[in-house]
């Protein structure tokens, strides 16, 4: 259980680094900043995201779940505000794009890398 959490944080850090490499308006100052941002994002996803999902349930239902990208973008912006100059997102549109890319990359990594490794045990 603890190992899964660490792997999740490291995978998210890697995804953040990849996004920063391809989206100019999404900047991370270092690898350690990516790890800290991933840790903060994980904490926000546990504490804040469920409340936001509950409060926006009607909108999420009407948009067939697409509003979840807005919630993910909001948590990214919260993470950025907590990190200061080490993590910078130039606007909410960039945060939504990053949230979409993060979801796709996390799903791919989960299906292609993590699940096959777990099945070998």
Please report the beta strands in 12-69, taking only residues with DSSP state E, as ranges in sequence order: 26-28
Q: What is the mean pLDDT of residues 75-82?
A: 97
d(CA 25, CA 37): 16
User: What pTM, to 2 d.p., does this model score?
Assistant: 0.91
What are the extents of the domains in the chain?
2-119
Q: Give the pLDDT confidence of 23-33 residue by residue, as tens digits.
A: 999 999 999 99
Q: Give the pLDDT confidence of 40-67 residue by residue, as tens digits.
A: 999 999 999 999 999 999 999 999 999 9
Using the predicted structure, report yes or no on whether residue 121 has a pLDDT greater than 70: no
CB 44 within 8 A of CB 75: yes
């Amino acid at each position: 259980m603890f190992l899964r959490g660490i792997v999740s944080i490291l995978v998210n850090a890697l995804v953040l680094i990849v996004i920063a490499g391809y989206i100019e308006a999404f900047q991370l100052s270092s690898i350690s900043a990516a790890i800290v941002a991933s840790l903060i994002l994980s904490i926000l996803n546990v504490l804040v995201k469920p409340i936001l999902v509950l409060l926006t349930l009607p909108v999420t239902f009407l948009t067939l779940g697409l509003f979840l990208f807005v919630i993910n973008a909001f948590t990214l912006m919260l993470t950025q505000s907590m990190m200061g100059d080490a993590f910078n997102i130039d606007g909410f549109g960039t945060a939504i794009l990053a949230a979409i890319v993060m979801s796709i990359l996390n799903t791919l990594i989960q299906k292609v890398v993590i699940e096959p490794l777990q099945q070998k045990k």
